[in-house]
Structure formats: structure tokens, C-alpha cells
């Protein structure tokens, strides 16, 4: 494999000195880009796009050709794993993801198995390899998965939900059923991420999009404990190179100490948590990723620059910060705003890395 030209992102994840703060954006390959919409139209459907390694490679690289981003992230869907388990993923137009066979009765839950990523998810691994080749070492490639609990939300609800009534009824009334699903999911997610690492992912991220909707007690028992199982089973090296991991729990700001304790390398933060306070609370034991409010990108260039400056100052001096949004970029975002954001991070952040550079 070609050596990395820009390894700033990986060094920041390991809290090693960097000349500036690296930046990438959750959902950076997506609908706010006209060229993405063109590829999506060519594919015919979102799933056809996600299942074609060539087209997934094309859209993964699109934002890198526009903006000086410091990482690429595999273009895929978080629901590939339950789809590979046989639940029948489909996208109803304007309604988001749905499953043909939601998982609700004890019989179906008993039969649930972790898929073999080399078979049912081979198209994802092929995409990872093809993207690595296409990147040619420009920036590192991030692999990802939904967390065991977040996947379970979609699997039990059969799609998105406002109140998570179905899965929470199971959680409170029949916790053993949900634990069985989560055990299978934890195994499946670990296998899936390890297969992505073997195919070429240089860092991996776990998206716990819905864990923050649980009560504080239920979060630990039904989400964090299973994310911890995944983390403990992940390959930490591949071909002698460290593979760092990131755990992002939207709405998880109250639980940072517990999240840091599962042994992850980096915690993703939404915009409700101060990076400076998070750094103190986690005692500098993990890197932090985030956390600009995605709605900032609808403001004036001046306002975007000033919010970028605020986020950088909030983290403060030293390495261990990866600049990102606090959640996925909105499909309505003007691309020029992203250019302003990336430029501001690269212009303003070297001032926060002078001490560490001098110390080398």
C-alpha cells in the first residue's frame, strides 16, 4: 500500500503532535453535493449506490476533490449489518430506511445470527479496498458501523422512530430478548469492523446515534456495555500499524467518563458538550472529535469563522482534537460554507499546536 501523504488525522486520534487540527465532516459524501446527486441518479437508488463498490468509491472521493479534508469515510449505510442478517432493508421514498421483517418475536430473535462479512457484506469490503486504492495515500480511510443498540433500534422498530416505543417496551418488559439481540449485534459489529480493517480501513468509528435517548441506567446496560464488547474485540493493529477507534454517542455528553472507560481512542461529541469540559472530565485519556453545530453552516462566512474559532479555543492547546460537526451535515448545506469551515480550521488551528511542535 502507498504510504500516507497526510496522516494528521491518525496522529491526532493517538494524541501525537500535529502541525494543525485535522478536519473531516460526518456525512461529508452526501446530498449537499451536486456531484453526489448525479452519481445517486446514475445508480438508480440509494441501496444500489451503497452496494456498488465502484460508485461508493466515486462518492467517497467527491468531497476530497472539493475540500482539503484530512480523512475520507467509507460511503455506506449503517443498516448493512441487519440487512445481511436477513431483515430486508429498503428505502421508502421520503421515509428513510425500513425493514421488511422487523425483529419482535422470541422465535425470530432466537434464530438471529451474526453474518459472515466476507460473504453477505463482501460488497462493503470490496468498496473499502477500492477506495484505499483510489485514495493513493492522500488521507486515511475511516470504516464504520452502527452500535449494537442503534442497530437494534431499527431492527425492532422496523425503521426510524420518534419515541422508540417498540424497542423500549421490549427493554422494560422483556429485557432478555433485547440482550440476546444485542449480543448477536456486538459479535456482528466486531466482525464487520475487523473485516473492514483487514480490507484497508485505517481507523474505525462506531455511531451510537440513538443511545442518548435511553435513561442513564439503561444506557449503560443496553448500549455502552455492548459497544464495550465491540471495542474489546477490535483489532488494534493491522500490518504493524495502529488502527484507532472512535465512539460517537449522540446526546451522550452526560456519560463521557463511562464512555472513556471502555478503552476507546477517541470520543465523538455533539454540540451540546463543551470540548474543554469534556477534556477535563476525561482527564486527557482520549482524543475528542467534534463539535460544531451543523446549523452553523447556514450562517454568514464571518459567523462560520467565528464559531470555528470558538470550537478550537474550547479544546485549547495541544493535540488530540479532530475537528468535525456535532452530527451529520445537513443535505441543504451550501458547499461554499464547507470550504469556509475547512479553511478556517486549517488557518486558525496551527496556533494551538505550537507548544507540541516545539516539544518534539
Contact residues for a second copy (CB under 8 A)?
Answer: 163-165, 168-169, 172-173, 212-219, 251, 253-254, 271-274, 277, 291, 293-296, 298-300, 303-304, 307, 310, 326, 330, 332
Distance of alpha carbon 352 from alpha carbon 224, whole angstroms: 32
Nearest to 47 by CA among 82, 97, 86, 87: 97
| Residue 282 to residue 258: CA distance in whole angstroms | 9
User: Which residues are within 8 A (CB) of 78 and not within 5 positions of it... i.e. 6 or more apart?
Assistant: 144, 145, 146, 150, 151, 207, 209
Smaller CB distance to a second copy: residue 90 or 164? 164
The distance of closest approach from Cβ of residue 253 to a second copy in the complex, given in angstroms and rounded to an integer, is 5
Q: Known catalytic residues? A: 27, 31, 40, 77, 154
Largest alpha-carbon pair distance within the chain? 62
Mutual angle of helices 225-233 and 148-157, in 10-degree steps: 120
Kindly tell me which of 187 and 327 has the beta carbon lying closer to a second copy. 327
Rg (CA), the chain: 19
Least separation in angstroms between residue 142's CB and a second copy is: 24
Q: Nearer to a second copy by C-beta: 147 or 202?
A: 147
In this complex, which beta carbon is closest to a second copy, that of residue 119 or of residue 216? 216
Rounded to the nearest whole angstrom, what is the least distance from the CB of residue 135 to a second copy in the complex? 31
* DSSP code at position 160: -
Helix (H) or strand (E) holding 128: helix 122-135
Q: Judge contact between 213 and 143, C-beta under 8 A.
A: no
The residue (of 6 and 272) whose beta carbon lies closer to a second copy is: 272
Kindly state the smallest distance separating residue 12's Cβ from a second copy, in Å.
22
C-beta neighbour count of 232 within 10 angstroms: 11
Least CB distance to a second copy at residue 306 (A): 9
Amino acid at each position: 500500500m502507498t504510504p500516507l501523504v497526510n496522516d494528521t488525522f491518525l496522529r491526532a486520534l493517538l494524541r501525537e503532535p500535529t502541525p494543525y487540527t485535522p478536519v473531516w465532516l460526518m456525512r461529508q459524501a452526501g446530498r449537499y453535493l451536486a456531484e453526489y446527486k448525479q452519481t445517486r441518479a446514475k445508480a438508480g437508488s440509494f441501496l444500489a449506490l451503497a452496494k456498488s463498490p465502484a460508485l461508493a468509491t466515486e462518492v467517497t472521493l467527491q468531497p476530497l476533490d472539493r475540500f482539503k479534508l484530512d480523512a475520507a469515510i467509507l460511503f455506506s449505510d449503517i443498516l448493512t449489518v441487519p440487512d445481511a442478517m436477513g431483515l430486508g432493508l429498503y428505502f421508502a421514498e421520503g421515509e428513510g430506511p425500513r425493514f421488511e421483517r422487523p425483529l419482535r418475536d422470541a422465535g425470530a430473535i432466537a434464530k438471529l445470527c451474526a453474518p459472515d462479512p466476507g460473504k453477505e457484506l463482501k460488497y462493503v469490503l470490496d468498496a473499502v479496498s477500492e477506495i484505499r486504492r483510489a485514495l493513493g495515500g492522500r488521507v486515511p480511510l475511516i470504516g464504520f458501523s452502527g452500535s449494537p443498540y442503534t442497530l437494534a433500534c431499527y431492527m425492532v422498530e422496523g425503521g426510524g422512530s420518534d419515541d422508540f416505543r417498540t424497542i423500549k417496551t421490549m427493554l422494560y418488559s422483556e429485557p432478555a430478548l433485547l440482550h440476546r439481540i444485542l449480543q448477536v449485534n456486538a459479535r456482528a459489529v466486531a466482525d464487520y469492523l475487523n473485516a473492514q480493517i483487514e480490507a484497508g480501513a485505517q481507523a474505525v468509528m462506531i455511531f451510537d446515534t440513538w443511545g442518548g435517548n435511553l435513561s442513564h441506567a439503561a444506557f449503560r446496560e443496553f448500549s455502552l456495555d455492548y459497544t464495550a464488547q465491540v471495542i474489546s474485540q477490535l483489532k488494534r493493529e493491522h500490518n504493524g500499524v495502529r488502527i484507532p477507534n472512535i465512539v460517537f454517542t449522540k446526546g451522550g455528553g452526560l456519560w463521557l467518563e463511562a464512555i472513556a472507560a471502555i478503552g476507546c481512542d477517541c470520543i465523538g461529541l455533539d454540540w451540546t458538550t463543551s470540548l474543554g469540559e469534556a477534556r477535563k472530565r476525561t482527564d486527557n485519556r482520549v482524543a475528542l472529535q467534534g463539535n460544531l453545530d451543523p446549523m452553523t453552516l447556514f450562517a454568514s462566512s464571518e459567523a462560520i469563522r467565528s464559531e470555528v474559532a470558538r470550537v478550537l479555543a474550547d479544546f485549547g492547546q495541544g493535540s488530540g482534537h479532530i475537528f468535525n460537526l456535532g452530527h451529520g451535515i445537513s443535505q441543504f448545506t451550501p458547499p461554499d460554507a464547507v470550504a469556509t469551515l475547512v479553511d478556517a480550521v486549517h488557518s486558525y488551528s496551527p496556533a494551538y499546536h505550537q507548544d507540541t511542535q516545539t516539544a518534539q
